[in-house]
Chains A and B, each alone.
Chain A
């Protein structure tokens, strides 16, 4: 396997862009990534795109082929990856694998989304065999309610308080305020968060990420190409994709088996463990994490599940400011999904952008001092997860 560098990254801001198509937003992100890499469109040998365009219907969402035609059809291979909110991470992993395996020297990874209104809808398939449909029809359960269920269990097991949950959102917005590409850049006080409407107790409005339009791109290349453009490349230390294990206790439909051990998102842990193992790093070696914070709960649970702190310790880390950029365990210095909103297929690539800027020392007021190793992780509907370790 060859060494792979992330040579350039680029991002369209996150928000609501009525006048722009997803292809246009991607075009801007790609132009920025190519400029950052010092390359041209003709240099791209393959494209790996995160795609939420499901077969059988839903028209919204990125299609990598549209992007290639828009930039100029050169006959290169296009891979459209579908994995829910993990699609961008899947696209990154495929792009990485194509270079690592010696198939191509320069690959473009892109994710972009133009989201329909409201909380993320499911596949929209109204069939009794569809697990989301069963939840909606028989139990009356929309997406955020599941996060609420996990969060409440944590509160009962570890005594997490509403203030501690809110503190995660406050920290996120402190970071987002320093990120010009974030959608929500206003700082929030603890009172602001605690007074926001309860969506599905415990999470409140400001503790759940909304949906956004957005696009991000990354140019990956071989060591040989990288060294022609920079003498200090950002390397991919490890990359992994995983799906959920049968017995992790998290129902993806109506039911699952009662687990023998703890209940957790096994797909996220597997992906993170594999990526870190490939990179030869342990939790102590990681300087920052960009994780999928659809809701504040994940910022507490995930670091524990992945061995970054003891069970039940995450709340104290947040309270002591250790998850801020200058702390011992910086989490989501970008401002995370809470400040960007989720543009499903773009999130994995958005994380790569932030990791690269951090490792290059280009993150301005949200810079993690001396960042050398960064971890990114996404989680997608259907038990999908990805993780990446970048280092410099």
Chain B
């Protein structure tokens, strides 16, 4: 799937998070890294240093992991190459961006993957993946970001 730009071998390119500290691979699969307020329970992504709920009585912020399941609230298709600082591989290929609701109570923006644009529907169940955003010309590696793809029809608990 990922094209190798390393001249010397057929090894897969190095995966570099597009930004540090936003997601992690756990034993149970990928998760987004955020916070939850110990006082009112409000979830945050990315991490929050303090609670921003105006009705919160005060509570300690705890690290929270979110995912992998979600529901697609809506999505948009990016048809034209966006201006800097957005990065993409040439030649530009249209991609979908979604707003996903997670059962943990957080709603977040994410790239969408693993489906043709005409297959996407608001309300469809989706699952979190960590995938290539674009190549890193400097290192020959690839930038990784979080995306959501359509979830399997039936949930197979393993």
Interface set of A (CB-CB < 8 Å, partner B):
118-119, 121, 126, 128, 133-142, 145-146, 148-150, 152-153, 156-157, 197-201, 246, 249, 251, 254-259, 263
Contacts and interface: CB of A to CB of B under 8 A. Distances in A.
A156 B121 contact: yes
Interface string B79-98: 11011011110000001011
Contacts of A197: 79
19 contacts: A118-B83, A119-B83, A126-B85, A137-B19, A139-B145, A140-B86, A142-B78, A145-B97, A146-B76, A148-B77, A149-B75, A153-B73, A198-B79, A200-B80, A255-B45, A255-B106, A256-B106, A258-B105, A258-B106
B108 A254 contact: yes
B24 interface: no
A134 B47 CA distance: 13
A157 to B, nearest CB: 8
B130 to A, nearest CB: 12
B139 interface: no
Contact of A201 (B76, B85, B111, B145): B76
A138 B146 contact: yes
Given A134-B19, A200-B79, A257-B42, A149 B106 contact: no
B52 A246 contact: yes
B77 to A, nearest CB: 5
A141 B75 contact: no
Contacts of A198: 79
Contacts of A150: 74
B157 to A, nearest CB: 25
Interface of B: 18-19, 22, 34, 42-46, 52-54, 73-80, 82-83, 85-88, 95, 97-99, 101-102, 105-111, 121-123, 133, 145-146
A199 B79 contact: yes
A119 B81 CA distance: 12
A136 B77 contact: no
A251 B76 contact: no
B107 A258 contact: yes
A200 B42 contact: no
B92 to A, nearest CB: 10
Nearest to B100: A255
A257 B43 contact: yes
A156 B86 contact: no
A251 B107 contact: yes
A126 B84 CA distance: 11
Contacts of B97: 139-141, 145, 149
B86 A137 contact: yes
Nearest to B48: A255
Contacts of B18: 137-138
Given A138-B146, A139-B97, A246-B52, A255 B109 contact: yes
Given A251-B107, A256-B107, A140 B79 contact: no
B105 A201 contact: no
A140 B122 contact: no
A140 B108 contact: no
